[in-house]
Amino acid sequence: MVYEAHRSDAERICRLWDEALGNKDLEASLALYADDASIESPLVQHLMNTPTGIVQGRDNLRVFITRVFQTNPPQRKRFKQGFFTDGRIVTWEYPRVAPDGEQMELVEIMEIDNGLIQRHRVYWGWYALGLLREH
C-alpha cells in the first residue's frame, strides 16, 4: 500500500538528494539523513578503509560523503529513469548503458522515516566494481 503523504516525502528526498549530489553540496546532502542514519556500499569500505561497507551516524556520514565528492569519477554520470516507492522505501537504478555512453551501474535503496533517510544501500554492478578496483 502506498501512502500519499509518505510518497511526497520520498519524491522530495529523491529530488533534493540528486540535486545535492550533482552540486556536491555536503550540507544539503547531510540534511536529508537522520542523525543515526547509515550508508552501506562497497565504496564505504574503499574510501573509509574499514572492514565493513557500512558507515553510520552524521559525523561519519560527513567524512564519507566528503570523500565521495572528492573522488567522483567521470563515469559517475547519474543518468536514471525515475524511481519506485511505496512511500517508505525508494529504489532506482543507474543503468550501465546511458544515452551518452557507459556509466557506473548502481541500484540504490533508501529507507525513509519521518521525512529523512534512515538507511541507504548502494549495490554495484560489474562495470562499477571494475572502476573501483582501478582506483
CATH fold label, 4-134: Nuclear Transport Factor 2; Chain: A, (3.10.450)
pLDDT, tens digit, for every residue of 89-101?
Answer: 998 887 776 777 7
Q: What is the dihedral of CA 58, 133, 127, 19, to 10 degrees?
A: 30
Looking at residue 94, its amino acid is Y
Is a pLDDT exceeding 60 seen at residue 46? yes
Share of the chain above pLDDT 90, in %: 41
Determine the Cα–Cα distance for residues 42 and 123; give it in Å rounded to an integer. 8
Q: What is the dihedral of CA 1, 38, 109, 50, to 10 degrees?
A: -150
Cα-Cα end-to-end distance for the chain: 42
For the entire predicted model, the pTM comes to 0.84
Of 90, 99, 94, which is closest to residue 127 (Cα–Cα)?
94
> For position 119, what pLDDT does the model report?
97
Q: Residue 105, by phi and psi: left (phi above 0), alpha (psi -120 to 50) or beta?
A: beta
Neighbours of 4 (CB within 10 A): 7
pLDDT, tens digit, for every residue of 57-110?
Answer: 999 999 999 999 888 654 455 656 778 888 889 988 877 767 777 777 788 999
- Going from N- to C-terminal start, the domains of the chain cover 4-134
Average pLDDT, the chain: 84
